[in-house]
Amino acid sequence: MSFEFLTVERRGAVEYVTLNRPDVRNAFNEHVIADLTAWAARAHADPGLRAVILAGAGKVFSAGADAAWMAKMAGYSREENARDAEAGARMFEAINTVPAIVIARIHGAALGGGCGLAAVCDIVVADEAAVFGFTETKLGILPAMISPYVLQKIGASAARELFLTGMRFDAARAKEIGLVHAVVPAENLDTTIDRYVSEALSAAPTAVARAKALIPRVLGRTTAEVMAITTEAIAAQRVSAEGQDGLKAFLAKGKPGWVRD
């Protein structure tokens, strides 16, 4: 499978996915959305994939939605805009639910939908000089498709400040509100990501996928509903081959079969 605006490099169980429109700071349009959606569909069907690093080529991670594409959209009907937005929403959901551990590598800037891409990743590592912002209201539009994912990360309070003003903020603030997990100097970005990748490769793949799927199922439910989901999930995993292998290896102080060095 080849992509127009993505470069994808496979190293064992790890895939390095790079947004590749550096001239427009990796802004995304319908073609980038199609590429990312197709990549995510492939990742969903790939049980050998354990970790993904999503990065941006050139000076920044992503400047969000392509302004030229949005300007074109302004001439489209409301129905055409809805269809287009739906393709974007499907892309975010497809990445959000990739069963492998997805790590965002943020340098330079993540703005608008670029922040949305960070929000659908499991782990976000940022260069300490990176700039963030939900800049949509500055352009007269809305952080709509990204909002469910961003809200799960940053909560309503930070969203009210940052969605409404569209103000830019730094990596330290992004970490404080839960959008980013690690903030490091640029020269340490890749070694920090390598450490997360080795953690990912020592976690049981089915357990990872199930733990990831559990999070949205549990959020927003009553304790009684949650208990039914969580007890069912842990019971199924404990009796699985993977669960048995992991517990036995732990007790024997050995390594379970899924660990790759």
Residues in touch with ligand COA (CB under 6 A): 24-25, 27, 59-60, 63-68, 109, 111-113, 135-136, 139
Compute the least distance from the CB of residue 81 to ligand COA, in Å: 14
- Closer to ligand COA by CB, 171 or 204: give it: 171
- Closer to ligand COA by CB, 65 or 118: give it: 65
Residue 29: CA atoms inside 13 Å, Cβ hemisphere, count?
Answer: 15
Compute the least distance from the CB of residue 136 to ligand COA, in Å: 5
- Closer to ligand COA by CB, 116 or 256: give it: 116
- Closer to ligand COA by CB, 139 or 236: give it: 139
DSSP 65: B
Cα–Cα distance, 86 to 91 (Å, whole number): 9
Compute the least distance from the CB of residue 193 to ligand COA, in Å: 21
Q: Decide: 168 and 114 in contact? Cβ < 8 Å.
A: no
Compute the least distance from the CB of residue 167 to ligand COA, in Å: 11
Q: Identify which of 175, 140, 138, 177 has the alpha carbon closest to the alpha carbon of residue 155.
A: 177
Q: Identify which of 11, 25, 30, 18 has the alpha carbon closest to the alpha carbon of residue 59.
A: 25
Angle made by CA atoms 91, 54, 114, in degrees to the nearest 5: 60
Compute the least distance from the CB of residue 149 to ligand COA, in Å: 15
Q: Decide: 158 and 177 in contact? Cβ < 8 Å.
A: yes
Q: Decide: 127 and 110 in contact? Cβ < 8 Å.
A: no
The DSSP secondary structure of 14-35, one letter per residue, reads EEEEEE--GGGTT-B-HHHHHH
Compute the least distance from the CB of residue 44 to ligand COA, in Å: 27
Compute the least distance from the CB of residue 175 to ligand COA, in Å: 19
**What residue is closest to ligand COA based on CB?**
112
- Per the listing, tokens 């390594």 go with 255
- Closer to ligand COA by CB, 23 or 261: give it: 23
Cα–Cα distance, 108 to 118 (Å, whole number): 13
Could you tell me the sign of the dihedral formed by the alpha carbons of 55, 58, 64, 66, in that order?
negative
CB atoms within 10 A of CB 158: 20
- Closer to ligand COA by CB, 23 or 187: give it: 23
- Closer to ligand COA by CB, 27 or 204: give it: 27
The amino acid at 98:
V
